Amino acid sequence: MGKIVLKSVRKSFGDVHVIPSVDLTIENGEFVVFVGPSGCGKSTLLRLIAGLEDTSSGTIEIDGKDATALPPAKRGLAMVFQSYALYPHMTVRKNIMFPLKMAGMDIEAATKKADAAAKVLNLTSYMERKPGQLSGGQRQRVAIGRAIVREPAAFLFDEPLSNLDAALRGNMRLEITELHHTLKTTMIYVTHDQVEAMTMADKIVVLQAGNIEQVGSPLDLYNHPANVFVAGFIGSPRMNLLTGADAQAMGATTIGVRPEHMDISTSAGKWKGVVSVAELLGSDTFLHVNVEGHGSMTVRAGGDVNLRHGDTVYLSPQDGKVHRFGADGKAIA
Amino acid sequence: MARSTTTNSKVIVTIGAWLVGFLIFFPILWIFLMSFHTEGDAIKSPFAMLASPWTTEAYQAVQTQNSYGKFFMNSVVISVGSTVLALIIGIPAAWSMAFVPGKKTKDLLMWMLSTKMMPAVGVLIPMYLGFKVTGLLDTRTGLVAIGTLINLPIVIWMLYTYFKEIPGEILEAARMDGASLTSEIIHVLTPMALPGIASTLLLNVILSWNEAFWSLQLTTSDAAPLTQFIASFSAPEGLFYAKLSAASTMAIAPILIMGWFSQKQLVRGLTFGAVK
């Protein structure tokens, strides 16, 4: 079991209110991703759940029990850190066995469990090595192994992939998602990378300045962003946001069109512009177009589109794909 | 051209370094040389002394006059005892200052260091009277206690610097893994800071071994360490250079040998944090 409920959780450091007030329910077995720009309070929120920081007020319930005042060890959670936080003086086996040793498990049973975890994570041949002799990806797997053996109520991940190179990051992303399918344990994952959020989460929590901007499934957030911030943050390349007469004509203060929902033509369209940069990805081409009165807009076109720097193009939003936002930044239904 | 300049300056620097090293080492060398001559020869001019025959007479005299073993044991007990005790107090203290600092932590550290700036003689009378009342005069316990107090600021400062280098996330990981505060310090912090702790231990053993002021004031015979042993050969009249030199050589030999074998550890510990 691993249901986590936050009720009016606040955190202040002196006069700085990092988390003004958060209410959130994380269901048992869910993969929840906290996402937001640097300094939005997502890591602080995770550390509050872990018990590594004390809440200024509010309650944190884990499996129906008030855990607000419990020390980290008593919350039944396991955490994987950005820096892996392995014990450098212990071998991989001892690292993985450490939580079991702390729980007072006898060595034989602990060794068995550590070996089983190592098998799942392909670490069997590295058990006698020290963390310093492992690659980044292997270290991360050891950190995950150390978390698995505890059989926690929930796993907490604090930007675990940000120290890895792009290719390894993709692999580990997949491995963690598969692990979630196998273990079916609640996972809370903090990242600033919205691609990680979109691809891994059952539920995404978008945070800004310590406030929850929106909670929902990845496609929910993509198709129905609650406000301008979420619209701009979720989706890559980011949504084109326009203000002024064009927005007013549609009864909004701001309108948004995703790059993939923009039609491009060389003869006619709603907005005329000049291609400044064409990024060729093979499968897609991202065109950055300077549009008069609106600045730079991004369009996602097919990989075979033959447009280059300096070409004049016309852009039009696809029907029904324009997001409208009011003066308060909130979406207009 | 550039290369030859570099080589030349390297040669000059090397010669300079050897010269400075020799100057620092010279008094020890001279004591060593004097200890192998008769009292009469020891007071002769340096060249005359070196030309005179070598003898172990002074060592024999020192041994018959005073038992080296007792002083040596006292030195070991006092220097190791006070250092270990200071470490037992210092490790948790440095932990709290490094990982859960309060608003006054820096002030507290400065205050501790400032006690080292005070001349020891300033508190001699109250300390002496305190020792007298508690019956600690001329006891190993008393000397271990005062050695601990003298070492504590340095021990805490050194450990604090080493602990600051340890990433807090690792200790948090231990906490998440179910480690109590004691387990965290014993199983994670101490092994990780071992090079630092070892050099703190070595340095403080050396400082305690060489500490003379308090051991001369507060001991007479029972708890007297090697510093007393050396001092007992200094006399207001008569010849005592050779015997004093022999006693000094015997007193510094153990620590010199220990320092020689652990110099790698000492240097590593002292530069810990400076070079990553």
Is the pLDDT at B238 greater than 80? The verdict is no
- Tokens in use for A179? 């692990």
Residue B90 banded pLDDT, cuts 50, 70, 90:
very high
Which residue among B169, B175, B192 places its CB closest to the CB of A83? Answer: B169
For residues A162 and B131, give the distance between their C-alpha atoms in angstroms, rounded to a whole number.
60
Is the pLDDT at B50 greater than 70? The verdict is yes
Q: How far is B272 from chain A (nearest CA, A)?
A: 16
Choose the mutation target among A98, A142, A144, A157 for the interface with B, i.e. most B CBs under 10 Å.
Answer: A98
Chain A contact set for B197 (CB, 8 A): none
Is the pLDDT at B2 greater than 60? The verdict is no
Look at B192 and A87 and tell me if their CB atoms are within 8 Å. yes
* pTM recorded for the entire structure: 0.78
Which CATH architecture is the domain B66-232 placed in? Orthogonal Bundle (1.10)
Residue type, A244: G
Look at A87 and B188 and tell me if their CB atoms are within 8 Å. yes
Chain A contact set for B187 (CB, 8 A): 98
Residues 221-250 of B with CB under 8 A from A: none
- The predicted model gives B50-68 an average pLDDT of 86
Q: Which residues contact A292 (CB under 8 A, 6 or more apart)?
A: A271, A272, A273
Question: How many beta-carbon pairs below 8 A join chains A and B?
Answer: 60
B70-79 pLDDT per residue, tens: 899 999 999 9
Give whole-number Cα distances, A290 to A161, A312, A318, B226, in Å.
35, 9, 19, 86
Which residue among B170, B176, B187 places its CB closest to the CB of A50? Answer: B176
Give whole-number Cα distances, B208 to B49, B76, B78, B147, B261, in Å.
33, 9, 7, 6, 18
Which residue among A50, A77, A89 places its CB closest to the CB of B192? Answer: A89
Position B273 scores a pLDDT of: 44
What is the total residue count of chain B? 276
Mean pLDDT taken over chain B: 87
DSSP character string of A36-56: -STTSSHHHHHHHHHTSS--S
> Closest Cα to residue B63, out of B273, B201, B233, B198?
B233
Chain A contact set for B167 (CB, 8 A): 83, 85
For residues B223 and B211, give the distance between their C-alpha atoms in angstroms, rounded to a whole number.
14
For residues A267 and A265, give the distance between their C-alpha atoms in angstroms, rounded to a whole number.
6
Q: Considering Cα of A102, then A104, then A107, then A109, what sign does the dihedral take?
A: negative
> Closest Cα to residue B116, out of B150, B158, B78?
B150
Which residue among A52, A88, A89 places its CB closest to the CB of B172? Answer: A52
What residue segments make up the domains of chain B, in order of their start? 2-57, 66-232
- The predicted model gives B219-246 an average pLDDT of 84
For residues A228 and A115, give the distance between their C-alpha atoms in angstroms, rounded to a whole number.
49
Position B159 scores a pLDDT of: 92
For residues B176 and B186, give the distance between their C-alpha atoms in angstroms, rounded to a whole number.
16
Residue B4 banded pLDDT, cuts 50, 70, 90:
low
Contact A88/B at CB under 8 A: yes
A16-64 pLDDT per residue, tens: 999 999 999 999 999 999 999 998 999 999 999 999 999 999 999 999 9
For residues A210 and A10, give the distance between their C-alpha atoms in angstroms, rounded to a whole number.
9
Chain A contact set for B184 (CB, 8 A): none
A221-256 pLDDT per residue, tens: 999 999 999 999 999 899 999 998 889 999 999 999
For residues B90 and B109, give the distance between their C-alpha atoms in angstroms, rounded to a whole number.
12
Show the DSSP H helices in A184-212 as ranges: 194-200
Show the DSSP H helices in A64-165 as ranges: 92-102, 107-120, 136-148
Position B229 scores a pLDDT of: 86
Given a contact cutoff of 8 angstroms between Cβ atoms, the answer to whether A217 and A204 are in contact is yes
Residue A133 bridge partners (DSSP): none
Look at A79 and B178 and tell me if their CB atoms are within 8 Å. no
- Strands A203-208 and A31-35, bridge-based pairing: parallel
Chain B contact set for A77 (CB, 8 A): 176
Residue B274 banded pLDDT, cuts 50, 70, 90:
very low
Alpha carbon B165 to chain centroid, angstroms = 24
Contact A82/B at CB under 8 A: yes
- Tokens in use for A62? 């884990």
Strand order in the sheet with A323-325: A240-243, A254-257, A323-325
For A149, name the nearest residue in chain B, comparing CA atoms only: B177
- The predicted model gives A274-289 an average pLDDT of 94
Given a contact cutoff of 8 angstroms between Cβ atoms, the answer to whether A158 and A128 are in contact is no
For residues A19 and A34, give the distance between their C-alpha atoms in angstroms, rounded to a whole number.
13
Chain B contact set for A73 (CB, 8 A): 175-180
Residue B190 banded pLDDT, cuts 50, 70, 90:
confident
Residue B276 banded pLDDT, cuts 50, 70, 90:
very low
- The domain A241-325 having CATH identifier 2.40.50.140: the answer here is yes
For residues A290 and B22, give the distance between their C-alpha atoms in angstroms, rounded to a whole number.
75
Q: How far is B139 from chain A (nearest CA, A)?
A: 40
Residue type, A263: D
Residue A13 bridge partners (DSSP): A16
Contact A146/B at CB under 8 A: yes
Which CATH architecture is the domain A4-230 placed in? 3-Layer(aba) Sandwich (3.40)
Position A257 scores a pLDDT of: 95
Give whole-number Cα distances, A299 to A16, A258, A261, A285, in Å.
40, 8, 8, 8
Given a contact cutoff of 8 angstroms between Cβ atoms, the answer to whether A331 and A324 are in contact is yes
Residues 167-186 of B with CB under 8 A from A: 167, 169-170, 172-180, 183
- The predicted model gives A296-304 an average pLDDT of 92
B108-118 pLDDT per residue, tens: 999 988 888 88
B141-168 pLDDT per residue, tens: 999 999 999 889 999 999 998 898 888 8
For residues A126 and A133, give the distance between their C-alpha atoms in angstroms, rounded to a whole number.
9
Question: Does residue B19 or residue B115 have the better pLDDT?
Answer: B19
Given a contact cutoff of 8 angstroms between Cβ atoms, the answer to whether A253 and A327 are in contact is yes
Which residue among A73, A83, A150 places its CB closest to the CB of B179? Answer: A73
Residue A12 bridge partners (DSSP): A17
What is the total residue count of chain A? 333
Is the pLDDT at A173 greater than 50? The verdict is yes
Position B268 scores a pLDDT of: 66
Buried/exposed code over A294-311 (b: 16+ C-beta within 10 A; e: otherwise): beebbbbbeeebebeeee
Position B167 scores a pLDDT of: 87
Given a contact cutoff of 8 angstroms between Cβ atoms, the answer to whether A198 and A234 are in contact is yes
Alpha carbon A61 to chain centroid, angstroms = 23
B209 three-state secondary structure:
helix
Is the pLDDT at B237 greater than 80? The verdict is no
Position B271 scores a pLDDT of: 59
Q: What ipTM describes this predicted complex?
A: 0.83
Peptide bond into A237 cis (omega under 30): yes
What residue segments make up the domains of chain A, in order of their start? 4-230, 241-325
